[in-house]
Amino acid sequence: MQNHKQYKKIALAITGAIGVMACAAPAFAQSSVTLYGMMDTGITYVSNQGGKHNVKMDDGVNGPNLWGMTGTEDLGGGTKAFFQLVNQFQLDNGAFMPNKSLFSRTSILGLSNDKFGKLTLGNQYDFMTDSLYFAGDDPAELSGHFYDFRAGPFQKLALPNNPTGAFDWDRMAGETVNNSVKYLSPTFGGFSAGAMYSFGGVAGSIGTGNGTSFALNYSAHDFGVNAAYTNLKTVVTGEGDVSVRNWGIGAHYRFGGWTTNALFTTVHNSANGGSVYQGSVGAHYYFTPALSAGASYMYMKGNEVVDNNHAHQVAAIVDYALSKRTSVYVLGVYQRASSGGLAQINGMNSSDGASSGQSQAVARVGLHTHF
């Protein structure tokens, strides 16, 4: 009995000491880690691929296949530390994307503050993607998605390290920039601005292989307009520093069940002087909470380096939500190039991906989910 009383006194003393230390020590910061992702797969019909039609399983069309994690820690005073790691993969075979690694889609660490803005470092999107696409200005997001991004009869554009020479030439499909530092200001009266710098990492020449990107944004309720500029340099054997410059401006407006947007973007390759621009408009409407449809139109035009080729492109999608996370859809994209040009819809990236003539069309039935 005496030992029991002694143990009880000791326990009470320890409990009291812990209570005193808990009161004296600062509270631990709030933190969280979230896992998320999305997947898309389906069957695609291609009308003309190297002179032949093709039926294939294709994935990552109505959104890329992603698995990621993000975490935040509240440091107090309105400041948070955060990270994001994102892997993009090929759903149909489980492999990494070609020439990519585990977190090559996104890998960033940063700080954010309510008054001073957000600073991020790592492998991340430039402002062509960040300000124009993620703001909702790209008609491709409302219609043909990955297939409706920019490509066209501009193989002679010859962008460095590009699978077709003109694949996603305005960077809307989520191209990222390595070794970069990016700052985004807080929003004042609806306006915000951003700047990014990418280090080239070449000893003795700070400017070799570097890159810059800038943005100016305005948002007011359901309306927004955004402008972006990106200039990235690539060291190419035999050609030195090749600069690829993009700029664009876009806007969006949402009302009722409608979403509408418009986008103008450009590209210029310093190695050969090739340039292309495009203008596009799109609209999307919810007939019911589950059933929606969207459509878009785009016109693309190149300079004399790409034989003054031009193209018209239309896209449409009908989407039905089976649940809050999963939907089925049908979509189609049609491109008509100018005389002498070989039509090429974005995503037709094999060696014979371009059409053998002026026209190319794709039709797709797909399944999309996110978690």
DSSP for 200-227, please give it: ---TT-TTTT-EEEEEEEEEETTEEEEE
Q: Which residue in this structure is represented by tokens 């509240």? A: 74
Please state which CATH class domain 30-370 belongs to. mainly beta
What is the C-alpha to C-alpha distance for residues 329 and 317, in angstroms, rounded to an integer?
7
What's the pLDDT score for residue 16? 41
- Which positions ≥6 away from 44 have C-beta within 8 Å? 55, 56, 57, 58, 61, 362, 363, 364
110, β-bridge pairs: 82, 120
Phi and psi dihedrals of 133, rounded to 5?
-75, -55
pLDDT of residue 265: 98
Strand partners, 143: none
Separation of alpha carbons 96 and 279, rounded Å: 33
Q: Which two tokens stand for residue 113?
A: 């503050």
Give the three-state DSSP class for 341: coil
- Tell me the three state secondary structure of residue 147: helix
Say what the pLDDT of residue 29 is.
58
Q: Say what the pLDDT of residue 101 is.
A: 87
Beta bridge partners of 176: 125
Low-confidence ranges of the chain (pLDDT < 50): 1-28
Angstrom distance (rounded) from CA 135 to CA 228: 12
**Domain residue limits, the chain:** 30-370
**Cβ 111 vs Cβ 118: under 8 Å:** yes
User: According to the model, what pLDDT value does residue 98 have?
Assistant: 84
Residue type, 353: G
- The per-residue pLDDT for 146 is 96
CA 193 to chain centre: 19
Answer whether 265's CB lies under 8 Å from 132's CB: yes
Distance between CA atoms of residues 311 and 300, nearest Å = 5
pLDDT of residue 239: 80
